[in-house]
Every structure is written in C-alpha cells, then in structure tokens.
Structure 1
Amino acid sequence: MASSPPPSRPRSPCPPLPPSPSPSPSSSSSSSSSSSDSPPPRKRPRTEHQTTHQQLAHFHTALNAHLAAGATLHQAVRKVLPTNHAHLSAHCAPIFRALAENASLQSNIPAVAALLHRFYPQSALSPPAPSFRVSHFADVAHLLRRAKNVVALVGAGVSVSCGIPDFRSAHGLYHSVAERFGLSDPQQIFCIDHFEDDPSMFFEFASQIMPQPHVRPSPTHRFLAELQSRRRLLRLYSQNIDGLEKRAGVSEQRTVLCHGSFLTATCTSRACKRRVKGTSIAPQVAAGLVPRCIKCQKNSDDDSGGVLKPDIVFFGEKLPNRVADCLETDIEKADLLLVFGTSLQVAPVSKIPAMFYGHVPSVLVNRELVAGHFDVELLGDCDDVVAALRAELGWHDRSAARYVDDARGAAGAATTNVAYHFVPPKRFLFANVGSEGARRDDPEDQNNSNESEDDGVTNASHTS
C-alpha cells in the first residue's frame, strides 16, 4: 500500500445486471390452462441475480476502500482477491492483462469488479459469511472475550457525554455554525482554502471544539483504554480532535488520529513550519483570537507572522500517512472490528470498515444505523452499550471504581443496569433508542449515498 492516497477517481454505478429471462410461451399456456384447484406456479428464484449483484457491490466497495487508503489499483485488486483461494491465482492473469492493455480501466472501478466476477468462481467472489450467529447479548460479549486484536473506529458520539457536541445532529456544531456565520454550507469553516484566505472565522468558532483541561474522558474512552490494558486492543482509529483517547490512557502507539488534533499546532508560513504544543495557543483560541507565530514575528518587519494552525485535517487536506501505514498491517492482524459513535459520512475514513468486511466480525455501536454491512448492531448511547458489555463480560475489577468516578465527574452518571431488547437477526435496541431504530430502513445498499463527493481520497476533515 502506498503511503499517500492516489488521485480522485470518477464515480460510476455498478454495471447493470442482465435482465431476468422471460417465461417461455409453453409455460404461460400451461399456467393458464391449469385448474383453479391446482397450486399456483412457482416463481422463478432470483437468488442467482441477487448473488451477482451482491458480489459486484462487495468488490466495488472493497476496491474503493483500498484505493482511498492509498493502494494502487493493482494492489487493491490483489488485496480484494480471497487469500484462502491461493490456488486460483492463475485467474489473476486476465485481470492484470486487461488493466495493462486498457488504460480506461484505471478509472473504471465497476468494470474491474466485473472482471473479478467473470474470472473467479462464484464461491470465491462472495463475501464470506459470518462464522457466528447472534441470538443473545452474551453472544456479543463472547466476540470480545475471544478477541485478541481489536480494531476500533470512533467518532464524535463517544465524546458527547463529556459535554462536547457532535457535528451533524439537530443541535450539533454545524447547526450553530450555520446560524452564527450565515453559511449555506457550514463545512466551509473547515475548508483549507477558506482558512488560508481568512483564518479569523475558524478561530472565532474554535473555542467550542477545543478540548478544555477540565473535560474528562467518557466511559467509552475508558472502555477502549481497558481493552488496551487487557491486551486486546490492536488499534484505535479516531476521527475526533479532542484528544480524550490520550487522557483516558490509550497510548500513542495504539492510536491513529485520522483527522489530527489540537495537541499540536504548526506555523502556516512555508519558510517556518514551526510546531508548538497546543497548550501554547490555548489562551488565544479560547479568546477567539488568531494565534501568530512568535518566531515569524521576530523575523519580519511587521507584527503579522504566520498563523499557528492546529494540526487538524481540514477539507482539502490529505490524511496523515500513519493512517495508511497502520491499516496495511492491521487488516491482516485484526480479529474484531468495533465502530463507535459515527455517522460514517466523511471519506476516506468512512471507507475503513469496508476493508474488514468478511474478514473479521464487525460490531456497530451507535444511536442510529449507518451505511455499511455490520454483523451486529447495538443501537443506543455508546456509554450505555459499554456498561452493558462490561456487565456481561463480568469486568467488575478494581478499575470499575475509576469508571464510575470519571463518568460522574464530567460525563454524567454512570449506568450499570441498561435495558435493551433483541430484534432478529442482529440488532439490539437500548432503552433510549426505542423501537424507531428497528423500523428505520437499513442503509446497507446505500454505501455511496452519504459520502463526500469526490470519492474521498483528499476530502478529509475531522467531522464524523
């Protein structure tokens, strides 16, 4: 996998499926001549066409996910091909030959997915079925109990109980930005072009998203740190910029800050690029002022100096190379994927779960359904789900007191008895979500509907 993402590729829908064959005249006449007492004719099963569509959709999504993480098209194809079908590697030759001879395929991902479907047996192309079935909450706890290399992806939902608002809810940060600055698209405040033209708008607002010293991690943050202390956490991919994972005790080695953080800031002057600790600009940010680089001011004739921009990823900036570097190894090592508190609406981070589909069990912990294919869906507040999981796991050790103290300090009262009910085949609804989550249409076939417009390789931001 390359360390930097490839250029954006135009999107196009998956190739259309062949039409279902129409019934023959003989079958129609026989049906019309049958007596009223005879059973109705059996409908032609559509399993084959449904399977074909699922295969194409699966490979289309998987190819885009690896491309967004920085792989070349050839690398992406190799990663998508099932590793347990090594004896079929000869089938790769026509695919790579077609890629070499037809330059237009380089930007036609659906066509490559169709090639995979053509040259590989059906059994090799189908997304692997989960190796478990969920019927009780204990089954979910069992996944955690046996996991040794958990990969977690978290969004703003894990910090809401700490008093840090999310971005996209009815009363989230984007709503307040639109009202305060009169922006038709509140995401403009995090656009790198707008920041370079006039950083004052961002810093007028930055105090609302900069983590304050008194803010304590949520029970969900503590749970992730506990996974680390129990030697079960392989990696934590965070879309948040509040740095609460570090305050909870998750090591920098285990953490990937996909969208950066306020922990450091860098001078925007190309001649300087001086990096400072985030605490050094905290007073100016809290006051809504634009922090300036002291080094630049000393070397210039005026008092302007370069702007000390917090090291968060704006729209239009690439993700840190560490994201792709860690994914390269984590995809091979992971045995469980946990996704907490995210709408999965911003690429390329929104594509990370697709890289693990079919390889390891995946669990969604969120207040609402999101686009994707998850083996288990736990719909509720992250902290409530975590409390239920710890209770089911029996993790009532000496760290439990710290859990309760921290949760009651800044993140609200800790909950130990959480009500939930099971909605087959894979969904658990917690008390504060109710039946609405079960009635909501599943977005599993809308993987591309909620993502950024450009396929996501550079259109990154801290929002989740």
Structure 2
Amino acid sequence: MDSQIKETAKIIRESKFTIAFTGAGISVESGVPPFRGEHGLWNKYNPEILDLGYYHENPEKCWLFIREIFYDFFANAHPNKAHKVLAHLEQSGLLHSVVTQNIDNLHQEAGSKNVYEFHGNSKRLKCLKCGKVFDASEIDFEHIPPRCDEDGEILKPDFIFFGEGIPTAAFENAFADAEKCDVCIIVGSTGEVTPASFVPRAAKQNGATIIEINPEKTLFTGQVTDIHLMGKATVILEKLENQLF
C-alpha cells in the first residue's frame, strides 16, 4: 500500500488537470447512509417517496419521510477527513473540481469551491411554480410541507427525484472536465448509478489515469481503474495528503 500511495502522489503531483468523482462512500464516515446496499435507505424506506410523479400526487405524505431522512437525520452530518483532504487539494492547486453524486453539501462545508452537483443539493429547496430557491436553514420543518412565501406552493428539495433529468450545468461541466483531465480520483462510488458513472469512463476514454479509493471492488475496478487504493476514504486520503505535503 505504501508504494501505491507514493506512486499515486507522484501521479497527482505531475498531473496538469485532476478531478475527483465522489459517491455515497465518502460520506458514510460522516454518518450519512447510502441509498443502496445492505445498510441502504431503500431497505428502510420506499423509493417511491422520491418519484417525481408520486411526489406531485402525494406531496404531504412524501414530505413526512423527506423531513425524517434529509432534514432530521442528515442535518447532524459534518465533513470528514476525506472531504477536507479534497478541499485541501483544491486549495493547493492539485485538484481542479469535484464531481459528486452526493446531495449532502459536505464537500462545500469542507471548503471545496468547484463542485458539480450531479444530483442536486438537499440544503436547497425550490418552488416549482415561481422558481424561488430557499436555503434549508430558513425553513421551519416543524410545519410540513414547507411552502413558498411568494405563492404558497409546496416546496421541493432541490435534488434529483426519480423521473427528473440531471441539471444541465452540472452535467456539461462534469463531462467537460472529464474529457480534459489527466487524472480522475474516484472516491466512494460503486459505479452503479448512471449517467453519473459515465464521468470516470469518459475520463478513461480520453486517456486519464483512474485512481479508485474504495474498500471493496466495484464496477469501475476491473474496467477503468488503473490504481485501486483499497480502504476507507478517510484513511487513504489522509495518507495521500501526508505524502503530497
């Protein structure tokens, strides 16, 4: 592992354009459960609560679960060492951007500035009628469903529901960076969710070195990964940080 860490640090140091691609695994150590897998949220909750059609028909019912998952439980999550290392890499000029599938805002809270939110952000709510955007900190979640103070319409969390498209700017920026990067660092993504999982694949197709940080093998491992640093994101990224600085 030490030799892999040294090799990876050298690759990152020599890269002219490096991006990170992150999934649920990077936030698990902050107490944010993944949606899929053995301990995933969909083992406890019905995914239809985040289906756009079902939401429009049953917003009050959906909001009971949305509040519990995203605004009661997730509210206590804080950035961990892995988020902070990526922010440090960006601040030091070693990382250009973070493409994230996560909606927890932890990259931004850790200090990352150039973050492409492929699936949106739970810390924002949006009125689908007038388009006004609210910070979650402004909302009184004791009274649900929350409503727009302009037109009284029920607010929707500003992250992607099933049946919605990827935000255009995030999609275009993510793939633009993937196509010109020298290095793509995958952290905590299994590669199961499309079209997000096409980002590292686009990087690979354009000649980038793919570094994967995951405790287990994933759909990326045997297909696009060049170096697999097997372990927890916090542990591996701290080792990389120590080697780089």
How big is the shift at 1:150?
1.2
> In structure 2, what is the Cα distance between the partners aligned to 1:137 and 1:218?
20
Secondary structure class of the residue paired with 2:96: strand
Once the two structures are superposed, the pairs formed by residues 19-418 of structure 1 within 5 Å of their partners are: 136-177=4-45, 186-206=46-66, 207-210=68-71, 211-212=74-75, 215-251=77-113, 254-269=114-129, 272-281=130-139, 283-284=140-141, 287=142, 289-296=144-151, 305-327=152-174, 329-358=176-205, 359-372=207-220, 373-393=224-244, 395=245
Change in Cα spacing, 1:332 to 1:174, as seen in structure 2 (3 Å) is closer
Conserved in 1, the CA contact under 8 Å of 2:30 and 2:77?
yes
Inter-partner Cα distance in structure 2 for 1:164 and 1:288: 24
Identity of aligned residues (%): 28
- Contact 2:51/2:161 (<8 A) preserved: yes
Shift of residue 202, structure 1, vs aligned partner: 2.9
Residue type matched to 1:160 in 2?
A: V
Once structures 1 and 2 are overlaid, which stretch shifts more, 376-385 or 324-333? 324-333
Identify unmatched segments of 5+ residues in structure 2: none
- What's the secondary structure of 2:165's corresponding residue? coil
Q: Residue by residue, what CA displacement relative to the aligned partner does 1:21-62 show, whole Å, maximum 9, x if unpaired?
A: xxxxxxxxxxxxxxxxxxxxxxxxxxxxxxxxxxxxxxxxxx
| CA-CA distance at 1:204 after TM superposition | 1.8
> In 1, distance between residues paired with 2:174 and 2:43?
33
3-state SS in 2 of match to 1:362 = strand
Q: CA deviation at 1:343?
A: 1.9
Structure of greater Rg: 1
Look up the equivalent residue of 1:362 and give its one-letter code: I
Corresponding residue of 1:47: none
Q: Distance in 2 between matches of 1:387 and 1:328?
A: 27
Question: 1: CA distance between counterparts of 2:176 and 2:228?
Answer: 26
RMSD: 2.0
In the alignment, residue 187 of structure 1 is paired with which amino acid?
Answer: P
CA contact (8 A) 1:219 1:383 kept: yes
> Within 2, Cα distance between the matches of 1:322 and 1:196?
25
Q: Match for 1:289: what amino acid?
A: I
Residue 449 of structure 1: aligned partner: none
Contact 1:164 1:209 survives alignment (8 Å): no
Question: Taking structure 1 as reference, are residues 328 and 342 closer, same or farther at Cα in structure 2, changes over 3 Å only?
Answer: closer
Change (3 A) 1:360 1:202: same
What CA distance in whole angstroms lies between the structure 2 residues aligned with 1:366 and 1:236? 17
Residue 383 of structure 1 deviates from its aligned partner by: 0.6
User: CA–CA distance in 1 between the matches of 2:131 and 2:92?
Assistant: 39
Query: Normalising by the residue count of structure 1, what TM-score does the alignment of the two structures yield?
Result: 0.48
> Structure 2-normalised TM-score?
0.89
**1:262 Cα deviation after fit:** 2.1
Shift in Å, 1:288: 7.6
Alpha carbons 1:167, 1:173 under 8 Å: kept? yes
Counterpart secondary structure, 2:29? helix
Structure 1 or 2: more strand by fraction: 2
Consecutive unaligned residues of structure 1, counting only runs of 5 or more, are 1-133, 178-185, 297-304, 396-464
Offset at residue 165 of structure 1 (A): 1.3
**Range that drifts further, 219-228 or 163-172:** 163-172
Structure 1 residue 223: Cα displacement: 0.7
**Residues 1:208 and 1:388: Cα distance change in structure 2 (over 3 Å):** same
**Is the partner of 1:266 in helix, strand or coil?**
strand
Read off the aligned partner of 2:34 and give its amino acid letter.
Answer: D
Q: How many residues end up aligned between the 2 structures?
A: 237
SS in 2 for 1:159: helix
How far has the Cα of 1:135 moved from its partner? Answer: 6.2
SS in 2 for 1:349: coil
Shift of 1:332: 4.3
What secondary structure is seen at the aligned counterpart in 1 of 2:69?
Answer: coil
